C-alpha cells in the first residue's frame, strides 16, 4: 500500500469517526477538512465500504425482544440474542456483529475465564468484528483441530485470530479435524500437547460454536473432512447436524460410530452447567439447530427472527 493510499484511508477513518461517533454532519466534516460537502460524503462512504467503521445496533427491537424471551423460556437458555431477518432465508447478515458483542461481554470481565471456540464461517465473522480489547487475563482454546488430513493448515481455524485481537493466551488444537482411524485418534489424544488441552477443556467457562447441517452440502463434506461414502453413512444414520465435527440426530443424540469415532474435537457435553452458545441461522439449518436445542447440546443461541419463529412453532 502506498503512502497516498494510507493517507486516504486515514482521512476516511477520521471522517467516519466524526460522523458516526462524534455526531458531526457532513457539512461540519467538510468544514473540519476544508473540503466540499460532496468530498466529505465520499470520505464517509469510503469509511463504510472499507469497513473502517463497525456499526452495532444498541436499541433493542421489540419483536426481537419478544422472540428472545419466548426462546429463553421454551429451551431454558442461559444466553439468547435475536437479530432482525432480511428477505434471503439463508442469510447470516448481522450474526458476526451480534456474536462479537456477546463474546466481548465475557472478554471484558476481570475474572479469569477459559473461553472455548469452534470454527466455521460465522466464527470467522465474529473474529473480524471483535473490537481490540486487552483481555490478557483470559485463555482461549480451540475445540477443533487446526489441520486437514494432509497436514496443511485449516482455513477455518479462528482461535489465533481472536487471540491476536484481544491479547489473550491461546491454545490451538494441533490435530487434524478428523483422524484417519479411531486408533490414530487415540494416539493423537495421548500426546502431551493434546492431553493438556483436553484437560484444560474440562474447566471452560463459556463456549462459542457454529452449527452445520447434514445434507448433500454438509460443511464436513464440502470442506473434504469426510468423503462421500462417510457422508452417505451419516445420512443413513439420520444425522441432521454437527457441532465441531460431532454428528447428531434429530433428538440431539451423538451418533455412534461412523466419522464420530475419528473426530478429534473436544467432546460435546449434554446439559452443560457452563454456557454453550451457538451462532447460526439459515433455512437449511432449521432441523440442526432445533435438535441441538432439544438435545441440550447448547444452552445459548444467537440467530435471526426467521429461525426464532421456526423454533417456536
- Other Cβ atoms closer than 10 A to 189: 14
Helix (H) or strand (E) holding 79: strand 79-83
| CA–CA gap between residue 117 and residue 147 (Å, rounded) | 15
Long-range contacts at 93-96 (CB < 8 A, ≥ 24 apart): 94/304, 95/122, 95/125, 95/126, 95/279, 95/280, 95/281, 95/302, 95/303, 95/304, 96/122, 96/125, 96/126, 96/128, 96/129
Using DSSP's 3-state secondary structure scheme, residue 23 falls into coil
Low-confidence ranges of the chain (pLDDT < 50): 89
pLDDT at res. 238: 97
Beta bridge partner(s), residue 141: 116, 171
- Quote the cell numbers at residue 261: 469415532
Domain ranges across the chain: 3-49, 62-311
- Write the DSSP assignment of 194-238 as a string of letters: HHHHHHHHTT-SEEEE--EE-STT-HHHHTTSS-HHHHHHHHHTT
62-311: CATH architecture: 3-Layer(aba) Sandwich (3.40)
Residue 97 CA: distances (Å) to CA of 31, 81, 219? 32, 11, 22
pLDDT at res. 93: 79
pLDDT at res. 149: 67
CA atoms within 13 A on the CB side of 287: 13
Sign for the CA dihedral angle at 189, 191, 197, 200 comes to positive
Beta bridge partner(s), residue 80: 301
- CATH 2.60.40 fits domain 3-49: no
| CA–CA gap between residue 300 and residue 211 (Å, rounded) | 12
Q: Where are the alpha helices (DSSP H) in 21-36?
A: 26-33
In this structure, what DSSP letter does residue 138 have? -
Amino acid at each position: 500500500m502506498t503512502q497516498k493510499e494510507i493517507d486516504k484511508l486515514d482521512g476516511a477513518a477520521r471522517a467516519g469517526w466524526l460522523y458516526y461517533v462524534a455526531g458531526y454532519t457532513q457539512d461540519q466534516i467538510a468544514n473540519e477538512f476544508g473540503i466540499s460537502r460532496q468530498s466529505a460524503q465520499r470520505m464517509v462512504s469510503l469509511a463504510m465500504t472499507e469497513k473502517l467503521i463497525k456499526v452495532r445496533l444498541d436499541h433493542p427491537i421489540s419483536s426481537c425482544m419478544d422472540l428472545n424471551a419466548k426462546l429463553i423460556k421454551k429451551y431454558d437458555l442461559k444466553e439468547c440474542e435475536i437479530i432482525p431477518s432480511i428477505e434471503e432465508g439463508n442469510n447470516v447478515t448481522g450474526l458476526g456483529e451480534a456474536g462479537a458483542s456477546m463474546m466481548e461481554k465475557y472478554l471484558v470481565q476481570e475474572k479469569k475465564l477459559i473461553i472455548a471456540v469452534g470454527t466455521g464461517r460465522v466464527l470467522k465473522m465474529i473474529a473480524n468484528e471483535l473490537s481490540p480489547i486487552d483481555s490478557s487475563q483470559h485463555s482461549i482454546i480451540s475445540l477443533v483441530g487446526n489441520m486437514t488430513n494432509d497436514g496443511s493448515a485449516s482455513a477455518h481455524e479462528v482461535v489465533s485470530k481472536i487471540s491476536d485481537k484481544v491479547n489473550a493466551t491461546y491454545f490451538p488444537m494441533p490435530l487434524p479435524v478428523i483422524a484417519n482411524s479411531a486408533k490414530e485418534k487415540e494416539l493423537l489424544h495421548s500426546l502431551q500437547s493434546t492431553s493438556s488441552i483436553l484437560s484444560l477443556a474440562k474447566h471452560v467457562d463459556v463456549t462459542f460454536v457454529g452449527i452445520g447441517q447434514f445434507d448433500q452440502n454438509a460443511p464436513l463434506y464440502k470442506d473434504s473432512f469426510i468423503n462421500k461414502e462417510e457422508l452417505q453413512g451419516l445420512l443413513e444414520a439420520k444425522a441432521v447436524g454437527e457441532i465441531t465435527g460431532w454428528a447428531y440426530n434429530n433428538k440431539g443424540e451423538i451418533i455412534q460410530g461412523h466419522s464420530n469415532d475419528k473426530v478429534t474435537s473436544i467432546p460435546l457435553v449434554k446439559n452443560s452447567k457452563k454456557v454453550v452458545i451457538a451462532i447460526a441461522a439459515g433455512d437449511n439449518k432449521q432441523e440442526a439447530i432445533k435438535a441441538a436445542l432439544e438435545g441440550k447440546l447448547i444452552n445459548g443461541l444467537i440467530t435471526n427472527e426467521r429461525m426464532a419463529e421456526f423454533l417456536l412453532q
